[in-house]
């Protein structure tokens, strides 16, 4: 029996969950290291827009600095774009700070992609097989449904690591030249903030580890639905153009090009939700954290951007978000 149009080859459908998870996790390690500076830039810019106070130098150092070199302009510690973040972080904190949070990024990327990609492939294949037998009209929606479910499962499982990673990227070390807190120290700090809540008995400590999960799901579920709905038709069309001449290089190119286009579109569409997620997770006041929700944050962001930047300010850091999220889509080449 001939395969239906666009049906994955038999060899692809026979790949097990374990093989998919290992391959995807391996790709996650490489891409996490490569794109970490972009993630630093994205998070720093979003944190700056949220009014996060940085402490670039201690008061005694600032006094010495002003005495010998003159007072510094406030713009010295204001980021104006991606390259400006790279330049100032390298000059003020050291080049290795661009890879701040890489450990948490790796700890997040491996389980995130190890759950996300295999679950997506397995769900999509099952839905397509079911639709071919029972409801052909359902087939075009297979990427949308499977992408949303797979991404949601991965987000729920990895939310505490995502929280730690976001805080590590957003905040500078309080001591100049000192070692910033790591992932576990950051998570312990999140749990200890429960003591500062007026009625801590009403809040279970571990719930704080999932701070911002609602905003993250609101971002990632539609992001995944959009990107896979765009990616799969483009990928299949490119492969079909080469027909029997398709090889590993063609499949790699199809995965990469389709992932890039889908990543740009979906990241642009969900960027406001990404800003909301970052603002929720970097908030240090536990009382405010409990009162925040995605709708309220989006209204605050919209009001701020409308006053200060107009419509372009709404999608601040969209290009950095697109570059960062594209790494997940480029991992289609693991197959």
CA-based nearest residue to 162, from 280, 30, 54, 46? 280
Give dist(CA 220, CA 112) in Å, integer.
12
Give dist(CA 35, CA 224) in Å, integer.
19
pLDDT score for 312: 53
The domain ranges of the chain are 10-334
- Please give the DSSP secondary-structure letter assigned to residue 182: -
Q: Dihedral of the CA atoms 225, 228, 234, 239 (nearest 10)?
A: -160
Query: Hey, what long-range contacts does 141-144 have (CB within 8 A, 24 or more apart)?
Result: 143/225, 143/228, 143/229, 143/231, 143/232, 144/225, 144/228, 144/229
pLDDT score for 334: 46
pLDDT score for 307: 62
Fold type of domain 10-334 = Mitochondrial carrier fold (1.50.40)
pLDDT score for 58: 44
With H, G, I as helix, E, B as strand and everything else as coil, classify residue 92: helix
pLDDT score for 123: 93
Residues of the chain falling short of pLDDT 70: 1-17, 20-21, 51-77, 172-178, 194-205, 304-335
Note the pTM of the prediction, 2 decimals.
0.72
pLDDT score for 300: 77
Give dist(CA 224, CA 269) in Å, integer.
11
């Amino acid at each position: 029996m001939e395969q239906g149009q666009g049906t994955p080859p038999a060899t692809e459908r026979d790949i097990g969950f374990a093989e998919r998870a290992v391959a995807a996790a391996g790709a996650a390690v490489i891409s996490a290291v490569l794109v970490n500076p972009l993630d630093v830039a994205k998070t720093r810019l979003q944190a700056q827009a949220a009014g996060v106070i940085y402490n670039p130098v201690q008061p005694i150092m600032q006094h010495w600095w002003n005495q010998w070199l003159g007072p510094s302009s406030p713009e010295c510690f204001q980021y104006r774009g991606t390259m400006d973040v790279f330049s100032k972080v390298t000059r003020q904190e050291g080049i290795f700070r661009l890879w701040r949070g890489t450990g948490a990024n790796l700890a997040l990327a491996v389980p995130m992609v190890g759950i996300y990609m295999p679950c997506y492939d397995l769900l999509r294949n099952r839905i397509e097989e079911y639709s071919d037998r029972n409801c052909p009209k359902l087939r075009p929606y297979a990427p949308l449904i499977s992408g949303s479910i797979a991404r949601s499962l991965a987000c729920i499982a990895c939310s505490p690591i995502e929280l730690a990673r976001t805080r590590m990227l957003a905040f500078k070390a309080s001591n100049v030249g000192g070692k910033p807190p790591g992932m576990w120290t950051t998570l312990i700090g999140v749990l200890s903030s429960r003591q500062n809540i007026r009625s801590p008995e009403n809040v279970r400590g571990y719930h704080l580890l999932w701070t911002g999960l609602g905003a993250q799901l609101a971002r990632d579920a539609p992001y995944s639905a959009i990107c896979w709905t765009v990616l799969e038709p483009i990928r299949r069309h490119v492969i079909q153009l080469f027909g029997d001449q398709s090889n590993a290089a063609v499949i790699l190119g199809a995965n990469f090009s389709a992932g890039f286009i889908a990543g740009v579109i979906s990241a642009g569409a969900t960027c406001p939700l990404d800003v909301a997620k970052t603002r929720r997770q970097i908030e240090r006041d536990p009382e405010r954290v409990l009162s925040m929700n995605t709708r309220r944050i989006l209204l605050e962001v919209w009001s701020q951007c409308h006053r200060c930047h107009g419509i372009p300010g709404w999608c601040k850091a969209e290009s950095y978000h697109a570059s960062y999220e594209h790494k997940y889509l480029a991992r289609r080449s693991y197959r």
